[in-house]
Amino acid sequence: MHVTFHGAARQVTGSMHLLNTGRNLFVFDCGMFQGRRKESEAKNRVLPVDPKLITNIVLSHAHIDHSGRLPVVTQKDFKGRIYCTRPTHDACDFLLADSARIQESDALYLNYKIVRHALSEMKTELSGRNLSRREQEDIKAVVKKKRHELDTEAINGLVAKYRLNGISPLYTVEDAERTMTLFNSVPYRNPVTIGNDTTCTFYEAGHIIGSAVSIIKAHVNSRIYKIGFTGDVGRYNTPIIRDPSDRFAKEDQDLDLLLMESTYGDRLHEPVADMQPGLKKVITETVERKGCVIIPAFAFGRTQELLYHLHELYDADAVPKVPVYVDSPLATRLTRVYGEHPEIYDAETQDSFLTKGRNPFSFKQLRFVRSVEASMALNRDQNPHIVLSASGMCEGGRILHHLRHKVHNERHTILIVGYMAQNTLGRRMLELGLEYESVGRKGDVPLLKFYNKEYPLKARVIKMGGFSAHADRDELLRFLKNSNLRPKKIAVVHGEEDQSEAFARRLGEEGYDAFVPHAGEVFSF
């Protein structure tokens, strides 16, 4: 019996680990690799195991770096089921379809460029001269329905006709929909059989709605083996969902191996208690300047947490009650998932809202922007308001249009509430903005380039780190120490190499036997 570590070994994305009991093969998570396009694309297309050999999949939560390759597995003779909590099931219904639409859109655009280039080369070769601007526009017209709408049928037809090396999406919306038929949703603390003499029990992980710590018990050769998998561990004392579980059933306490995340294994967050006062300060000062607060926010988790804090601030008359807009179709759908699962709310949310018959994600000033036309009108609105829009790292989506209309005006504030990866627009904006603030906003105004144009970054850029959904180093240690889990060995995963190694050393200092596996490494029982 052994565990093989694959994705999220000495890295953060692509979470995936295999448990082979001799009679069954289980997969913990099936996440998508994210980062540089070509490198991630290559990794995401190659699976470390033949899907038809997999008995079942255990999914810790719905984030794409944990669930995003499920349709890749289910495309290829997978005969098993996917086990997760009920909220995770519901969230994946939206997230996987959205991921598929992105895959299809990216492939279509790349094929458009391939076809356009091929047609241009053929016409240039026939004419023996460079093409005029009119001729280039005629070629574009062949593969477009309207000025800004690509003709999918024409593009795919030309790829096939001229045998071009076209791009296929990682998976389609149809693939994602088929994947959803294979889900089995299970309540917390309710053991479920997932294979021959093997059960799985989910406990609250406190990361996002539905996130779970999984405890697997396998009977092999007259012995019971117990393996724990934390998925992503959340913070303590945050609103909406319950803290990470510290009470595990007696039969689940003694673990042969615990796979534990380490995203922030060597870093500390700002205190949770500082989040609402910090948000109050940003809103008040911005509205006094007659400006808007623009918040790039991840659609799942971060948006809902911010809405909760804004609701409380508005109820307390602590800030000017300007309109609040959620301008993200996906965030709108996922907020509905939060609203449909009050059974997972913590005691504070129950007392503050549910016992009074109120919805934490609905208040008078809140508007969900659904149509493109309404989003465009909001872009042009210069009256004070707050906008939460995706994507969280400003790499695409409606947030770019809000930035295009507001980034050049010093009245406005861009509030950064999440991690911005290297080589993203959000990271560049954060670094340039904070540097400009550090010199007192004097000297040359930094320029931010996107949409093939440079914009002066005059808007104020403010970062609030307390909104992270991941436990920091001390909170990860608190999860271990305060719980009644007794792991014999801990495999430190889901962290950049420096974070994982630092956390493993800290665990050693605390008396735990910990190691950091490499991708492909096998741990045998």
The predicted-structure confidence for 100-112, as pLDDT tens digits, reads as follows 998 898 899 899 9
The per-residue pLDDT for 382 is 92
* Burial class of residue 189, CB neighbours in 10 A (0-12, 13-18, 19+): middle
On whether the CB atoms of residues 437 and 390 are closer than 8 A, the answer is no
3-state secondary structure of 518: coil
On whether the CB atoms of residues 455 and 446 are closer than 8 A, the answer is no
User: Alpha-carbon torsion 49, 50, 55, 61, what sign?
Assistant: positive
Amino acid letter for position 8:
A
On whether the CB atoms of residues 164 and 143 are closer than 8 A, the answer is no
DSSP string, 40-58: HHHHHH--SS-GGG--EEE
**What global pTM score does this model have?**
0.89
Q: Give mean pLDDT, residues 102-127.
A: 90
Kindly state the tokens that stand for 474. 């001390």
CA distances from 392 to 421, 426, 436 (A): 10, 8, 22
pLDDT tens string 351-385? 989 888 899 999 999 999 999 899 999 999 999 99
The per-residue pLDDT for 138 is 86
The residue with tokens 């117990």 is 226
The per-residue pLDDT for 157 is 94
Which residues on neighbouring strands pair with residue 462, listed in sequence order?
A: 415
Within its chain, how far is the Cα of 43 from the centroid?
Answer: 18
Tell me how many degrees the CA angle 472-476-481 measures, rounded to the nearest 5: 145
Task: Tell whether the model's pLDDT for residue 274 goes beyond 90.
Answer: no
**Structure confidence at residue 196 as a pLDDT band (50, 70, 90):** very high
The residue with tokens 């997230």 is 95
**Structure confidence at residue 88 as a pLDDT band (50, 70, 90):** very high
Q: What is the 3-state secondary structure (H, E, C) of 154-167?
A: HHHHHHHHCCCCCC
Length of the chain: 525
Strands 257-261 and 223-229: parallel
Kindly state the tokens that stand for 499. 């974070």
Task: State the Cα–Cα distance between residues 451 and 286, nearest whole angstrom.
Answer: 26
The per-residue pLDDT for 273 is 85
On whether the CB atoms of residues 401 and 448 are closer than 8 A, the answer is no
On whether the CB atoms of residues 486 and 513 are closer than 8 A, the answer is no
Which residues on neighbouring strands pair with residue 214, listed in sequence order?
A: 202, 229
**Structure confidence at residue 18 as a pLDDT band (50, 70, 90):** very high
CA distances from 10 to 2, 319, 491 (A): 19, 43, 11
Count the neighbouring beta carbons within 10 Å of the beta carbon of residue 45.
Answer: 12
Task: State the Cα–Cα distance between residues 262 and 266, nearest whole angstrom.
Answer: 8
Q: Which residues contact 291 (CB under 8 A, 6 or more apart)?
A: 384, 409, 411, 412, 413, 459
The residue with tokens 């004392």 is 237
The per-residue pLDDT for 518 is 97
Q: Give mean pLDDT, residues 24-41.
A: 88
Alpha-carbon Rg for the chain in angstroms: 25
Task: Tell whether the model's pLDDT for residue 50 goes beyond 90.
Answer: yes
Task: State the Cα–Cα distance between residues 245 and 243, nearest whole angstrom.
Answer: 6
**Structure confidence at residue 53 as a pLDDT band (50, 70, 90):** very high
Enumerate the H helices of 213-301 as residue ranges.
275-288
Tell me how many degrees the CA angle 22-23-28 measures, rounded to the nearest 5: 80
Q: Which helix (H) or strand (E) holds 255?
A: strand 254-255
Tell me how many degrees the CA angle 384-385-389 measures, rounded to the nearest 5: 140
On whether the CB atoms of residues 189 and 205 are closer than 8 A, the answer is no
* Burial class of residue 317, CB neighbours in 10 A (0-12, 13-18, 19+): exposed
Kindly state the tokens that stand for 30. 């099936």
The per-residue pLDDT for 466 is 82
Strands 25-28 and 56-58: parallel
The per-residue pLDDT for 39 is 82
Q: What are phi and psi of 457, to 5 degrees?
A: -85, 75
Could you tell me the domains of the chain? 2-85+186-268+469-524 (3.60.15.10), 97-173 (no CATH), 272-467 (3.40.50.10890)
The per-residue pLDDT for 226 is 98
Kindly state the tokens that stand for 462. 């403010």
Share of the chain above pLDDT 90, in %: 80
Choose among 348, 326, 355: nearest CA to 238: 348
Kindly state the tokens that stand for 461. 């850029």
Task: State the Cα–Cα distance between residues 320 and 342, nearest whole angstrom.
Answer: 29
The per-residue pLDDT for 423 is 74
Q: Which of 21-35, 83-97, 138-152 has the lowest mean pLDDT?
A: 138-152
